[in-house]
Structure 1
Amino acid sequence: MTRYDEIGVGYALGRRTDPRWLAPVLDALGDAASVLDVGSGTGSYEPPGRRVVAVEPSAEMVRQRPPGAAPVVRAVAEALPFSLSVFEAGLAVLTVHHWGDWRRGLDELRRVSRRQVVLAYDTALHNDFWLVREYVPEVAALELSRPSAPEIADYLGASSVRVLPVPWDFTDGVFPAHWRRPEAYLDPAVRRACSALAQTPPATVERGIARLRTDLASGRWHEEHADLLSLTEWDAGFRLIVR
């Protein structure tokens, strides 16, 4: 059983494609007609109108893929069952931090594709998120154990790195998606869609959420974070890396 067979139940409900991230992903793929989507999950950012093959180890995630999604091969990034440069582009969206050996996985992505497009995040910036800093600081250790976007870009020898800010009304429920909507984190379904919270001891998360609930009721959160309420987007560290 893979990790997402356990924590991925209901994932597709909370993690919906946002066109404001899909557009730069498509731009980064350029005119590539064949795309390998590694760690594809439910296929949120698979490009339409191209020959796409998905790689996903979790049966639970495969089960949630919508009708008409790209065909799926059950495999892991570190051992892709494809020959040299068979795809024009390799895509990896918010998945590298879950790979057992991320460097080997990136080597495999480079082996089977002529262009690589990787969406990752800067773990230090993630740890500066108010939910981590003030309520669930235990998440920080998990994040710091994961590869960070600058490391990934350096290892790939990236030709470009683009900042992908998180809009205040983002529809893809990534961990910091609700940076201006703190009430959302009171919903267990929202928390389950965030792997950083799903992989943190439940009692720890519950203590932090209880403090957040209290601060929202008292108005303290809004006083402390009034600067965020006027922003339309925020840099949580997400980076689109292209080689």
Structure 2
Amino acid sequence: MIAQYDVIGLNYAELRRPDPRIGAAIETALGKTQTVLNVGAGTGSYEPPDRQVTAVEPSIEMIRKRSPLAAKVIQASADDLPFANNSFDAAMAILTVHHWPDIGVGLREVRRVTRGPIVLLTYDPSFRPWLTDYLPELAALDDVRIPAMSDYERWLGPVHVVPVPIPHDCTDGFLYAYWRRPDAYLDPRIRTGSSSFWAIGDVEPGLQKLRHDLATGEWARRYAELVTLNEYDAGYRIVISER
């Protein structure tokens, strides 16, 4: 089977530049660990440069886009990790678990090879950011493919959940990163930075309504409170499983 990001990861290195504020939250969650496994590593976003990182990524397209200075990478899938038990101090998985073939199997594999904390940057699908008012298909997609927060304890045991507010000028172009920059969603190039737009297909009817509301000022009136904020809780969460 062709890894999903062999097809959709065309602009990821350009559009998905790590945001240092989100990176700092991930670093804090990793604590003082030294050897770190990055599962579903993609192009290497948020890999801490001061630790010994081993990356796992199934997509050859994403592997090819990794910097020559990035951590060593192994082409493998989360549900079949080629490592012995307790091989790493910690593990991380950044906005990736919803792409895994079997999330429960994958997380149990990550726990098997990790002797310390597992740090997941993920999304709480109970949130409904304003973009879902225009593209309700996004909410339906989130409900299907993104685990509820309660699922992580079932797979990993007790977890600690930390909200990750998204800065208004976030450099990482994931789905709801442009919450205060609505015009960005009208740019087809920017939309290629999020797998969700590939998954829901035809977005033009919703974007046409957004385009109209931006032109008439309706968007600004409807979401006036948002434009006063420097950061926003769009539902992104760090889930931490201690050993």
Per-residue CA deviations over 1:28-79 (Å, capped at 9, x if unaligned) read: 1111111110000111110112111100001111111112001110010000
The residue aligned with 2:129 is 129
The residue aligned with 1:141 is 140
Counterpart CA distance in 1 for 2:85 and 2:144 is 31
Tell whether the 8 Å contact from 1:102 to 1:147 is kept in structure 2 after alignment: no
Tell whether the 8 Å contact from 2:153 to 2:159 is kept in structure 1 after alignment: no
Counterpart CA distance in 1 for 2:7 and 2:200 is 13
The TM-score normalised by the length of structure 1 is: 0.94
Bigger drift between 74-83 and 210-219 goes to 210-219
The residue aligned with 1:119 is 121
The residue aligned with 1:188 is 188
Report the secondary structure of 2:79's partner residue.
helix
Alignment of 1:92-241 (within 5 A): 92-114=93-115, 115-125=117-127, 128-132=128-132, 134-155=133-154, 156-201=156-201, 203=202, 205-241=203-239
Measured at CA, do residues 67 and 149 of structure 1 come closer, stay the same or move farther in structure 2, by a change above 3 Å?
farther
Counterpart CA distance in 1 for 2:41 and 2:125 is 21
The residue aligned with 2:20 is 19
Structure 2 alignment gaps of length 5 or more: none
Same amino acid, percent of matched pairs: 49
Per-residue CA deviations over 1:160-201 (Å, capped at 9, x if unaligned) read: 211101111111111010111101111111111111112111
Structure 1 alignment gaps of length 5 or more: none
Shift of 1:92: 0.6
Tell whether the 8 Å contact from 2:176 to 2:234 is kept in structure 1 after alignment: yes
Measured at CA, do residues 50 and 152 of structure 1 come closer, stay the same or move farther in structure 2, by a change above 3 Å?
farther
Per-residue CA deviations over 1:184-226 (Å, capped at 9, x if unaligned) read: 111111111111112111x2x1221121111111111111111
Alignment of 1:29-48 (within 5 A): 29-48=30-49
The residue aligned with 1:7 is 8
Counterpart CA distance in 2 for 1:183 and 1:47 is 32
The TM-score normalised by the length of structure 2 is: 0.94
Shift of 1:241: 1.2
Tell whether the 8 Å contact from 1:120 to 1:149 is kept in structure 2 after alignment: no
Q: Which amino acid aligns with 1:181?
A: R
Q: Give 4+ residue runs of structure 1 displaced > 6 Å after superposition.
A: none
Q: Which amino acid aligns with 1:222?
A: A
Alignment of 1:51-70 (within 5 A): 51-70=52-71
Q: Which amino acid aligns with 2:220?
A: H
Counterpart CA distance in 1 for 2:64 and 2:187 is 24
Shift of 1:117: 0.9
Tell whether the 8 Å contact from 1:153 to 1:161 is kept in structure 2 after alignment: no
Report the secondary structure of 2:200's partner residue.
coil
Q: In proportion to residue count, which structure has more helix?
A: 1
